[in-house]
Amino acid sequence: MNEKELENKIENEENFADNLAEDMPKEQIVDENGEGDNESTDNLSEKLTEWKDSYIRLMAEYDNYRKRTIKEKADLIKNGGEKVLMGLLPVIDDFQRALDTMNQATEPVAIKEGIDLIYNKFITYLQQNGVKPIESIGTLFDPDLYEAVATVPAQNEEQKGTVIDNVQIGYTLNDKVIRHAKVVVAN
């Protein structure tokens, strides 16, 4: 039962209690002499006891639901990055192997190729998880994507306001900027 269903059920129970006395005809509760009708009063008392029991159980059920969802959200926040970190472990293993190999390798070209392979593996993993680099060189300066760290004079009119160099690559996560690219802009 979800939260909305529980709220509706509680509201229905409250409306039942409000309407319970109104539903019973007055002549059944009190006769013409002003004395109470024991059978109607007992019936009303039973219904009221039933309602109270149902209401208490419903409130306990709602409270348990609320506590369970709070706990689930806390667990999700606590362990939410687990999948991402598990995906990084193979890259860390590759770096460890590369560091071990660097001490024994005699050819710098082989070391460079190994580091390039690790870099490409890492970039591929990031892209699979929605992280993409922001393309900047040759585009118009956009303050939503770029942070200008320097300006240089433009060589021609067409180059004004465009990014001519990238100091630090920026990244987006599912089309949201998570790090602005630091760029040099022609002015």
Residue 68 has pLDDT above 90, yes or no: yes
CATH code of the domain containing 172: 2.30.22.10
Q: What is the pLDDT of residue 35?
A: 55
What is the average pLDDT score of the chain?
85
Residue 178 has pLDDT above 60, yes or no: yes
Q: What is the pLDDT of residue 27?
A: 47
Please check whether residues 91 and 74 belong to one and the same domain: no
Please check whether residues 32 and 67 belong to one and the same domain: yes
Q: What is the pLDDT of residue 183?
A: 96
35: left (phi over 0), alpha (psi -120 to 50) or beta: beta
List the domain range (segments joined by +) for residue 180.
132-187
Residue 8 has pLDDT above 90, yes or no: no
- Measured CA to CA in angstroms, residue 152 lies from 51, 149, 167 at distances of 78, 10, 14
- The Cα angle at residue 48 between residues 2 and 21, in degrees rounded to 5: 105
| Nearest-angstrom CA–CA distance, 76 and 73 | 5
Q: What is the pLDDT of residue 164?
A: 94
Residue 22 has pLDDT above 90, yes or no: no
pLDDT tens digits for 114-165? 899 999 999 999 999 999 999 999 999 999 999 999 999 998 888 899 999 9
Mean pLDDT of 16-44: 61
List the beta strands (DSSP E) in 24-145: 131-133
Please check whether residues 106 and 138 belong to one and the same domain: no
Cβ neighbours for 87, distance < 8 A, ≥ 6 positions apart: 125, 129
Indicate whether this model's pTM tops 0.85: no
Q: What is the pLDDT of residue 124?
A: 93
Please check whether residues 36 and 46 belong to one and the same domain: yes
